[in-house]
Amino acid sequence: MAVTLAEAGAQVAAVARSEKAIEETAEIIKAHEGRAIAVPCDVHDTKSVTAMVERVLAEFGQIDVLVNNAGGGDMKPIIEMNEDEWLRIVDLNVNSIFRICKAVGPHMIKRRRGKVINMSSMYGLVGEKNVTAYCASKGAIIQLTRALALEWAEYNITVNALAPGYIYTERTSRVFDNPELRDALTRRVPLGRIGQPVELGPLVVYLASDASDFMTGSVLVIDGGQTAA
């Protein structure tokens, strides 16, 4: 998503706890003559988020587009999950968006423009056993998106969400590289395959561009038809 935004002309701040990963992303962008910086940040920590936003503003002068993509979860029955595990997932998926929007929001409100893109999931729309915390938190992101869209509409700031289905990433590779698991999951997807990260890029560019100026509070689903079944 970061690389596709850069290809569309954006100056990109790659943000994550993993310094190696964001530096690699920034180098890919710069290798194609784009402008990018890598900014380490722990989205669990308000001070870290504040410092990250200050660094981006100092480097670029403004923030036009915010992509909230931090997330994750464990596959575990709820009766086997302790409270700390539940709170960790909710904090990563939902509270992180609150922290970053609270830090970036005043800047966008002052400029009376901005695009916020939140990463939900098809599991924010449908349930799945043994991933209750993940489903609950991704559903909360959709409601956060809708409510914040109304709150910030008067400032010409749009807030939308993406809800991907099964996407092959470094994190999910341990599942999809297992032929038995991959085949079982692929059978659940009407289009008969797993999505690729590159397929999310154009949707993010659309939501970041003027083409989506009349769209806010919406959820774009990209799941191979799974939630339509």
Spatial separation of the C-alpha atoms in residues 44 and 157, rounded to whole Å:
25
pLDDT tens digit sequence for 211-222: 999 999 999 999
pTM of the model: 0.94
3-state secondary structure of 116: strand
Q: How high is the mean pLDDT of the chain?
A: 95
> Which domain does 190 fall in, by range?
169-197
Spatial separation of the C-alpha atoms in residues 79 and 163, rounded to whole Å:
27
**Are 34 and 124 in a shared domain?**
yes
Nearest CA to 94 among 48, 159, 142, 150? 142
Spatial separation of the C-alpha atoms in residues 71 and 154, rounded to whole Å:
29
**Are 47 and 117 in a shared domain?**
yes
Q: Which residues are marked as active site?
A: 134
pLDDT tens digit sequence for 56-72: 999 999 999 999 999 88
Pseudo-torsion of CA 223, 146, 170, 190, nearest 10°? -10
**Are 122 and 206 in a shared domain?**
yes
Residue 164 one-letter amino acid:
P
pLDDT tens digit sequence for 4-38: 999 999 999 999 988 889 999 999 999 989 999 99
pLDDT tens digit sequence for 126-148: 999 999 999 999 999 999 999 99
Nearest CA to 220 among 161, 147, 165, 167? 161
**Are 81 and 111 in a shared domain?**
yes
